[in-house]
Amino acid sequence: MADKKVTNIKLLVVEDDDVNRKIMDYQLRNYYNVDFAKEGNEAIDLFLHNYYHLILLDINLGAGMNGVEVMKKIRKSDKGKSVPVIAITAYANFGDRQIFQSEGFDDYILKPYHSDDLLKSIMGLLNEF
């Protein structure tokens, strides 16, 4: 995959699991500037006070809001209407991709995923090819 760090591109990763956050940090830190949120309210606060080019959003965030609820609150803000949001989920039922996209997500990545697939999805939405 890409060998350059795109330092001007900032991502928000919303993931409640410590291990998954560490894995995503390892996969992304050489390419992007990344902020992490552990839960929905933290994600919304970070989003409203910062500029992000793209959001990676876990669907099952444990207690509190789920990823769909977080995405809908982000989409209600003016800047949230145009920021790509990728659903990261272990939900693998037939039709889930279409359901998440109909909810407003721009892409859907199934856990466990390969880091190249994650980077390709991000790069595709950011038109980095």
Say if CB 126 and CB 33 are below 8 A apart: no
With a cut of 50, say whether residue 129 has pLDDT above it: no
pTM of the full predicted structure?
0.90
Give the tens place of pLDDT for each residue, 103-127: 889 998 988 888 999 999 999 999 8
Pairing of strands 85-89, 107-110: parallel
β strands within the chain, DSSP E: 10-14, 33-37, 54-58, 85-89, 107-110
107 lies in a domain?
A: yes
Domain span at 38:
10-125
2 lies in a domain?
A: no
111 lies in a domain?
A: yes
d(CA 78, CA 92): 31
With a cut of 90, say whether residue 101 has pLDDT above it: no
Give the tens place of pLDDT for each residue, 20-62: 999 999 999 999 999 999 999 999 999 999 999 999 999 999 8
- Looking at residue 42, which CATH number applies to its domain? 3.40.50.2300
1 lies in a domain?
A: no
Q: Which one-letter DSSP state was computed for residue 8?
A: T
pLDDT at residue 92 in the model: 67
Tell me the chain's radius of gyration from C-alpha atoms.
13
4 lies in a domain?
A: no
Mean pLDDT value across residues 71-89: 94
71 lies in a domain?
A: yes
**Which among 66, 1, 12, 8 has a CA at the least distance from the CA of 37?**
12
| Number of CB atoms found within 10 A of residue 22's CB | 12
Provide the number of structural domains found in the chain.
1
With a cut of 60, say whether residue 3 has pLDDT above it: no
